[in-house]
Structure 1
Amino acid sequence: MSDDNVCWQSVDYEGFEIHVSTRPKEPVRPGDTKPVRYTYIGYVCHPGANPALPGHTVAFHADGEDSFASTQDAQNEAVQVGRSVVDGTHPDLSVLSLVTSGV
């Protein structure tokens, strides 16, 4: 789940950790000093879990068409998605596998 060139931020929430990384949606255009739009990837895990081990995380990412005007906007959305995974309100993802497997 990690990449040497990726910067991860972590938020503690309801006994879980939400890890998010923002990144440019597309390469910087000639003449621009920074990307125009951003996206995110993330995962939820128990504190101290090894994200490299299968079954220790619940991964999520922005939908293909989603993009954000700033890294802060992308990070805020990613944390909200992570919270919905933990809360059980995300339509497709849940931490149930982390709870029942004991990791």
Structure 2
Amino acid sequence: MSDEHGPWQVVEYEGFEIHAAPFAKDPHESEPHRPPGPYTYVGYVCHPGADPVIPGHAVPFHADGEETFATSQDALSEAIHVGRSIVDGTHPDLSVLPLVTGGV
């Protein structure tokens, strides 16, 4: 899997920032004529201006297992959707509650 992420997108939502980046799981570097893909994503949710490197300042997330998308835009859209579910409290595993209660 490639470590290079596409351009990070930042979406402000309900007082938080959702940072998300799509990237090609299989960049086909040996075959430059093939388009990259399939795509997946990484991201995190934080308060505006927070430093995500500092523990407790962000809630990181990524696509589950082998989940892939046909285009980088599809991956990015799903990442933003997941980030919103974290902020809304509807994500089954992740929450912004530690960011709120920790005063960060």
Per the normalisation by structure 2, the TM-score is 0.89
Distance, in Å, in 2 between the alignment partners of 1:55 and 1:33 is: 40
Match of 2:70 in 1: 69
Identity of aligned residues (%): 63
Match of 2:54 in 1: 53
Residue 64 of structure 1 and its aligned partner are, at CA, apart by 1.2
Aligned positions of 1:1-103 closer than 5 A: 6=5, 7-28=7-28, 30=31, 32-103=33-104
RMSD over equivalenced CA pairs, Å: 1.6
Per the normalisation by structure 1, the TM-score is 0.90
Residue 31 of structure 1 and its aligned partner are, at CA, apart by 5.2
- Does the residue aligned with 1:22 lie in a helix, a strand or coil? strand
Letter in 2 for 1:20: A
Distance, in Å, in 1 between the alignment partners of 2:17 and 2:35 is: 29
User: Alpha-carbon deviations, 1:2-24, whole Å to 9, x = none?
Assistant: x8x54311000000000001100
Residue 72 of structure 1 and its aligned partner are, at CA, apart by 0.4
